[in-house]
Structure 1
Amino acid sequence: MDKKIGCLKVITGPMFAGKTEELLRHIHRLQRAKKKYLVFKPKIDNRHATSEVISHQNNKTDALIIGSVQEIEKYLNNDIETIFIDEIQFFSSEIASFLCNLTQQGYQIIAAGLDKNFRGEPFNETIKSFLALADCVEKLTAICQVCQNEASFSQRIINGQPARYHDPLVLVGGQENYEARCRSCYVI
């Protein structure tokens, strides 16, 4: 019997780059192939009052809502081949080593999340670990909402103005709070 070979893939980029859409594309491919998988999303992502992963284009799939990395283990069984996780940046940094251990057991892990926070810095230690440990990183860009060039930053907007550097790091939201911006149009 062949040993399953696991891998860790990270889909990253700014808000509105299509990270969740790309995650859903991978899920739909497995659905067509009739493969077994699990989809998780963090409890903190309360933009939609539902147990679904939903893209900005309103495409969606069912998901298990979890508050901690330990909850993943209770859903695993021998039939599962791939684990999908959306909004990976909202989990504690221990999730990176936990998922790397699962790749050693043969699981395919595909995670999507922001690479940078609204301050233009790595989002947190979780995303730093994932980017370092990943077998494959797919870095997406969006379209700058100011000049329409390639955008790699998430500009937080509060009352029509760019957020201040010392504003709280986490503000879960969508188009009401964020814009994609290129390096030239990004303001902090």
Structure 2
Amino acid sequence: MNHYFQQEYIRHGHIEVICGSMFSGKTEELIRRLKRAQFARQNVEIYKPTIDTRYSEENVVSHDSNYIKSMPVDAPESILLLASDAEVVGIDEAQFFDETLVDVCKKMADAGKRVIVAGLDMDFLGTPFGPMPALMAIAEDVTKVHAICVRCGNLAQFSHRIVKGEKQVMLGEKDEYEPLCRDCFNKALNAHHHEVE
């Protein structure tokens, strides 16, 4: 990246999306980018949905316990009001927000903010999840991170639910979900369908 382009990229607002399956390092990458921005003395604000309090009410925490201070919010509109002075806005677990998050991120980027969004791109059935597909479409930069398939060792992009339950939103850990590659995910889904029949 040449120096001129780098300056332009930093000065203008834009949206970055970090997506992938569970256990792929999405939150870890979000925290890494936000800590770099803090180190550069930029005004950084971090938000997550109030639904996600698995590790901490007040922090964004990765599976391997790296964390950064955050604020839980009920609705994306709150982020617009709360982040008015921020230069960099981080949003974790974006899939749990509704579609209004897309417009909120767009407004912040249009106002000159760097918006970094992390979330699951697919639910446990392999279906695009919440506002993530639309965010990926409008983002300047999309990073898809992968876990390792626990069954065959290939790159995994699917979050397979091990426990029974049809609700799309079910917060979980290693006991409830496993990262799988496409082939192993399809085999697991087929096995589940045969059990149900």
TM-score by length of 1: 0.90
| Contact map agreement 1:9 1:134 (CA 8 A) in 2 | yes
Q: CA deviation at 1:63?
A: 0.2
Question: What does residue range 86-165 of structure 1 map to in structure 2 within 5 Å?
Answer: 86-124=92-130, 126-158=131-163, 163=164
Conserved 8 A contact 2:83-2:89: no
For residue 28 of structure 1, give the secondary structure of its aligned residue in structure 2.
helix
- Following the alignment from structure 1 to structure 2, what is the Cα–Cα distance between the partners of residues 85 and 104? 17
Match of 1:9 in 2: 16
> Aligned to 2:40, which of 33, 38, 46?
33
The structural deviation recorded for 1:148 is 1.1
Letter in 2 for 1:183: R
Aligned-pair CA distance for 1:131: 1.3
3-state SS, counterpart of residue 116 of structure 2: strand
Separation of aligned partners in 1, 2:83 and 2:31: 20
Secondary structure of 2:183 counterpart: coil
Structure 2 CA distance, aligned partners of 1:31 and 1:8?
Answer: 18
Q: Determine if contact 1:143/1:181 at 8 Å carries over to the other structure.
A: yes
Which of structures 1 and 2 has the larger relative contact order (alpha carbons within 8 angstroms, sep 6+)? 1
What is the deviation of 1:5? 1.2
Tell me by how many angstroms 1:87 deviates.
Answer: 0.3
Q: State the number of aligned residues.
A: 179
8 A Cα contact 1:54 1:61, kept in partner:
yes
Alpha-carbon deviations, 1:34-91, whole Å to 9, x = none?
Answer: 111100010011212420000011000110010001211332344x211000000000
CA deviations over 1:94-146 (Å, ceiling 9, x no partner): 1101210111110110000001100011113x112111111110001110011
Q: What is the letter of the counterpart of residue 143 of structure 1? A: I
Alpha-carbon RMSD across the aligned residues, in angstroms, is: 1.6
Structure 2, unaligned runs of 5 or more: 1-7, 190-197
Rounded to whole Å, the distance in 1 between the matches of 2:89 and 2:36 is: 14
1:81 corresponds to 2:80: no
- Give TM-score, length-normalised by structure 2: 0.86
Runs (4+) of structure 1 moved beyond 2 Å?
Answer: none
Sequence identity of aligned pairs in percent? 36
Amino acid at match of 1:81: E
Does 2:71 match 1:72?
Answer: no
Are 1:18 and 2:25 matched, yes or no?
A: yes
**What secondary structure does 1:95 align onto?**
helix
SS in 2 for 1:34: coil
Question: Tell me, what secondary structure is at the counterpart of 1:84?
Answer: strand
Higher helix residue share: 2
SS in 1 for 2:112: coil
Structure 1: 5+ residue stretches without partners: none
The answer to whether 1:177 aligns with 2:176 is: yes
Determine the C-alpha separation between the residues in 1 that align with 2:84 and 2:96: 25
**Cα-to-partner distance string for 1:133-186 (whole Å, 9 max, x where unaligned):** 11110001110011111111001011xxxx47xx11110111121100011111
